[in-house]
Amino acid sequence: MKFNTKVIHGGQHHEPATGAVNVPVFLTSTFAQKSPGQLLSGYEYSRGANPTRQALEDSLASIENGARGLAFGSGLAAIDCVLKLLSPGDEVIAVDDLYGGSYRMFTRLFEKYQLKFTFIGFDNVEELESVITDKTKLIWLETPTNPLMKLVDIKMVADAVKGKDILVAVDNTFATPYIQKPLDLGADIVMHSATKYLGGHSDVIAGALIAKDVELGEKLHFIQFASGGILGPHDSYLVLRGIKTLALRMQRHSDNGFEIAKFLENHSLVEKIYYPGLSSHPQYDLATRQMTEFGGMVSFTFKSGKKEDAIKFLENIKVFTLAESLGGVESLANLPAMMTHASIPEDKRAVLGITDDLVRLSVGIEDAEDLIADLEQAFNSII
């Protein structure tokens, strides 16, 4: 199947008892057995498997070209599951420009259990090879990164560790499988905050993992079952429904994102613009190789460099909404230094370039002309 067909039909079957086209929401914790240990339908207890969640997990595997999909109560619950593959003393190499919640989990939770985290830019293979040791077991990537839209060459990383006992995991939340297929490029695991583009309507908190092979998928499923961070059936239904329109929405997000980026690139009050679809982006060539579109996430800074200008700008937006999160049909804006990335220490933010005036936009599917007009009037408020 091609992608537009996969998001609707991939891994999906009509409900066998009634022929229902949409999978029902199976609001049950347990399932009747014919005899002790002899299951009627293959389902035993909903923490292990639930028909609604199974339909979503099958869809996830299909759209990412993976062997096994797993759905969790949040994106962080999905990351937690991956880290539980590791043992004390293992080392993780992660991209330096990282979602604040991931950084917080790595440094404030899992470092306590003797996992070592090294953060690098992944600018070239030499940089990566210089920090790999015999204890390295996992490489954690975001591409594009949050919030500076840096790219990591997934194939380069996968090729660099080929034949080694090192897993490559990619947070594909910003790009989605419509734009980028990490497993096809050599990654072992894909992670999504399904709260974002997969759900797409700002009405659910969810996470997802997709494993490249069956054996790894079984290991992750055991941790999911044993730790219990599963996604409930109703939320599973909402994400599955969102996936059905993913291709349509992502094309619109990408079209609008490009228009907004061009507008900002030429605005007199804007200093830097971060968007991989602009030819001025330092990794534009990689973007054209690795991505089919460039998404709806755009970040920028002010020529004044003043946090006060960014705050005033955000206080005056009207069509955009000042809020955390991203990936919904509505446009959102936030100030990472005070919101999504506040958990990253100030000195580290400064080194990375997450300045106090950096604004991150999640461009929705509204009319681009209305979004640009809204940004213009917000800029005018600080003149």
Q: Please state the separation of Cα 175 from the chain's center in Å.
A: 7
pLDDT level of residue 41 (50, 70, 90 thresholds): confident
pLDDT digits (tens, 9 = 90+) for 262-284: 999 999 999 999 999 999 999 99
Considering only residues 217 and 343, tell me which one the structure prediction assigns the higher pLDDT: 217
The whole-number pLDDT of residue 232 equals 98
3-class secondary structure per residue, the chain: CCHHHHHHHCCCCCCCCCCCCCCCCCCCCECCEEECCEECCCCCECCCCCHHHHHHHHHHHHHCCCCEEEEECCHHHHHHHHHCCCCCCCEEEEECCCCHHHHHHHHHHHHHHCCEEEEECCCCHHHHHCCCCCCEEEEEEECCCCCCCCCCCHHHHHHHCCCCCCEEEEECCCCHHHHCCCCCCCCCEEEECCCCCCCCCCCCCCEEEEECCHHHHHHHHHHHHHHCCECCHHHHHHHHHHHCCHHHHHHHHHHHHHHHHHHHHCCCCEEEEECCCCCCCCCHHHHHHHCCCCCCEEEEEECCCCHHHHHHHHHHCCCCEECCCCCCCCCEEECCCCCCCCCCCHHHHHHHCCCCCCEEEECCCCCHHHHHHHHHHHHHCCC
pLDDT at 335 over 90: yes
pLDDT at 7 over 90: yes
pLDDT digits (tens, 9 = 90+) for 91-104: 999 999 999 999 99
Question: Are the C-beta atoms of residues 191 and 170 closer than 8 Å to each other?
Answer: yes
pLDDT level of residue 39 (50, 70, 90 thresholds): very high
pLDDT at 244 over 90: yes
pLDDT at 185 over 90: yes
The whole-number pLDDT of residue 383 equals 85
pLDDT at 245 over 90: yes
pLDDT at 300 over 90: yes
To the nearest whole number, what is the mean pLDDT of the chain?
A: 97
Range name among 39-43, 185-189, 252-256, 274-278 with the lowest pLDDT average: 39-43
Active-site positions read 47, 99, 171, 196
pLDDT digits (tens, 9 = 90+) for 104-116: 999 999 999 999 9
- Tally Cβ neighbours within 10 Å of residue 34: 9
Q: How confident is the model over 31-45, as a mean pLDDT? A: 93
Domains, in order of start, for the chain: 3-242 (3.40.640.10), 248-382 (3.90.1150.10)
pLDDT level of residue 154 (50, 70, 90 thresholds): very high
